[in-house]
């Protein structure tokens, strides 16, 4: 009976869950055993016929999962159980199953095969999200929105600029994923403590052949296990990606609040229920789900780091932790990317509300623009800042539009005309290089995508 929400199907995409299903992992382990037998035959350690028999039988079609579990209950060793079950169906050729290998040769190389597929799926979803953000950056390049610092109104920016910033963050994660694959997707065939003693005189060639057959790189050097700094780096990276998605989701949740009401995550008006008791509610539940899962992702970093240390050439303290953290990290981040892409792609934007919110402070958000203009007319920056500070306080305390306060001030009127003041108070005139930065960010992203072999 399923217990965890990944098992029940609540979280995770079908394609990523499949990579970490028990049957799928066992088949990857059998693939490693088959590649090992083939390599032994290639160097002349065993006959071609024996290798062909092992290769032919190294499948769940012949090696039953139920039989592996039956043996494991007796011997209390999962890899030994798999080896014995495979040997049983191979007849006399079974004598050469697992020749010269240790359990971690099979386990770690099978993990590399799983991670190769998992990281392909994750990179694909990052590519899709990057594209969606690029499209939104272009679409909303000129859409004004108030910039906020400390949760307070700052100066105007554009919604497209916000998306461009997010886009480049995802671009960096794609670069990191592509880099980390070089260090994480590695296998080994090096025996009990890494010396390859049990593999005989052709040991180095055997490892090379096995990895080539499986489409993996061999480790440069290892003990009984692939060193866990590799997996720790991956889990840390996936937690960073999760924190980025957490940031996106938190921003959308904030902007969806009724008192702000600028952007909204998708909501199926005809069917979706926001609350079991309050019919009017449209809760940002998908963004909240992303934020919640990000907590789990970050929690996986600690055991991943703890797994780096081991007694001498290997102990078993990594094993139990990794059975949780590697599948969970990949399944959860893949699902979070799927959710976020759907949110951004179908985001509802209220441009009128954005303009209304810019006007909430009655023009005071343009005080910096006026200050800069006064410095260009002979004021020191400090003098201009103090004058504008006092005038913004007056505007707020007297509940008067900032334009009116500026027009009433003799010092300001001596330096600036009515037309100039009106131009300075227009949010669209105070975007600096925002539009240029958006264009440059999009161009850079397009160039990087072409280098990755993406046509759009």
pLDDT score of 278 more than 70? no
Instruction: Please identify, in words, the CATH class of the domain defined by 112-194+214-357.
Output: mainly alpha
What is the per-residue pLDDT across 76-108, written as a single tens digit (0 to 9) for each? Answer: 999 999 999 999 999 999 999 999 999 999 999
Q: Which CATH architecture has domain 5-96?
A: Orthogonal Bundle (1.10)
The distance from CA 11 to its chain's CA centroid, rounded to whole angstroms, is 15
Domain residues of the chain, as ranges? Answer: 5-96, 112-194+214-357, 364-424
Cα end-to-end span (Å), the chain: 44
pLDDT at 273: 59
Specify the fold of 364-424: Ribonucleotide Reductase Protein R1; domain 1 (1.10.40)
**Burial category of 29 from C-beta neighbours within 10 Å (exposed 0-12, middle 13-18, buried 19 and up):** buried
Higher pLDDT residue, 300 or 455? 300
pLDDT score of 292 more than 60? yes
pLDDT score of 305 more than 60? yes
From CA 78, how far away is CA 95, in angstroms rounded?
Answer: 19
What is the per-residue pLDDT across 329-366, written as a single tens digit (0 to 9) for each? Answer: 999 999 999 999 999 999 999 999 999 999 999 999 99
What is the per-residue pLDDT across 371-391, written as a single tens digit (0 to 9) for each? Answer: 999 999 999 999 999 999 999
pLDDT at 261: 96
Angle between helices 48-57 and 78-89 (to 10 degrees): 110
Q: What whole-number percentage of the chain has pLDDT above 70?
A: 97
Contact 29, 200 (CB under 8 A): no
pLDDT score of 280 more than 80? no
- Other Cβ atoms less than 10 A from the Cβ of 147: the count is 15
Instruction: pLDDT band for 283, please (50, 70, 90 cuts).
Output: confident
pTM of the model: 0.95
* Whole-number average pLDDT of the chain: 96
Angle at 336 between CA 435 and CA 297, to 5 degrees: 110
Evaluate the CA torsion angle 20, 22, 28, 29 in order and state its sign: positive
Two domains, one topology: 5-96 and 364-424: no
What is the per-residue pLDDT across 121-145, written as a single tens digit (0 to 9) for each? Answer: 999 999 999 999 999 999 999 999 9
What is the per-residue pLDDT across 179-209, written as a single tens digit (0 to 9) for each? Answer: 999 999 999 999 999 999 999 999 999 999 9
SS3 277: coil
SS3 152: strand
pLDDT at 297: 98
pLDDT at 272: 62
Q: How many helices (H) and strands (E) does the chain have?
A: 20, 6
Place of tokens 């139990």: 320
Q: What whole-number percentage of the chain has pLDDT above 90?
A: 94
pLDDT score of 277 more than 60? no
pLDDT score of 279 more than 80? no
- Other Cβ atoms less than 10 A from the Cβ of 373: the count is 18
Place of tokens 């916000």: 162
| Residues contacting 416, CB < 8 A, separation 6+ | 370, 373, 374, 377, 406, 424
* Residues designated catalytic: 150, 275
């Amino acid at each position: 009976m399923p217990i965890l929400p990944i098992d029940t199907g609540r979280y995770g995409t079908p394609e990523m869950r499949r990579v970490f299903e028990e049957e799928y992992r066992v088949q990857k382990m059998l693939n490693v055993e088959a590649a090992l037998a083939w390599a032994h035959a290639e160097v002349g350690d065993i006959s071609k016929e024996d290798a062909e028999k092992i290769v032919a039988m190294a499948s769940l079609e012949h090696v039953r999962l139920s039989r592996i579990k039956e043996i494991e209950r007796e011997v209390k060793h999962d890899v030994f159980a798999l080896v014995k079950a495979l040997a049983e169906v191979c007849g006399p050729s079974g004598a050469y199953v697992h020749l010269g290998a240790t359990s971690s040769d099979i386990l770690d190389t099978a993990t590399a095969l799983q991670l190769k597929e998992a990281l392909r799926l994750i990179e694909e979803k990052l590519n899709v999200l990057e594209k969606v953000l690029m499209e939104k950056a272009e679409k909303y390049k000129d859409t004004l929105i108030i910039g906020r610092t400390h949760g307070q109104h700052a100066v105007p920016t554009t919604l497209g600029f916000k998306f461009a910033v997010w886009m480049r963050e995802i671009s960096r994660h794609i670069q990191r994923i592509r880099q980390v694959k070089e260090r994480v997707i590695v296998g080994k065939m090096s025996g009990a403590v890494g010396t390859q003693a049990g593999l005989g005189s052709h040991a180095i060639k055997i490892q090379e052949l096995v990895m080539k057959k499986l489409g993996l790189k061999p480790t440069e050097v290892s003990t009984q296990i692939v060193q866990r700094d590799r997996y720790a780096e991956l889990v840390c990276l996936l937690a960073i990606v999760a924190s980025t998605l957490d940031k996106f989701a938190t921003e959308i949740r904030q902007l969806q609040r009724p008192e702000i009401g600028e952007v909204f995550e998708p909501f199926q008006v005809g069917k979706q229920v926001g609350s079991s008791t309050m019919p009017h509610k449209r809760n940002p539940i998908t963004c909240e789900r992303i934020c919640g899962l990000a907590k789990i992702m970050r929690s996986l970093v600690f055991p991943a780091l703890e797994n780096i240390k081991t007694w001498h050439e290997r102990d078993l303290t990594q094993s139990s932790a990794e059975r949780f953290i590697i599948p969970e990290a990949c399944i959860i981040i893949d699902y979070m990317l799927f959710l976020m892409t759907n949110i951004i792609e179908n985001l509802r934007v209220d441009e009128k509300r954005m303009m209304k919110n810019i006007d909430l402070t009655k023009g005071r958000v343009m005080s910096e623009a006026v200050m800069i203009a006064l410095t260009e007319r002979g004021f020191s920056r400090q003098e201009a800042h103090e004058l504008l500070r006092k005038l913004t306080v007056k505007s707020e305390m007297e509940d008067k539009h900032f334009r009116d306060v500026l027009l009433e001030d003799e010092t300001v009127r001596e330096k600036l005309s009515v037309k100039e003041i009106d131009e300075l108070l227009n949010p669209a005139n105070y975007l600096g290089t925002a539009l240029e930065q958006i264009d440059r960010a999009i161009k850079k992203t397009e160039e990087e995508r072409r280098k990755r072999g993406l046509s759009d």
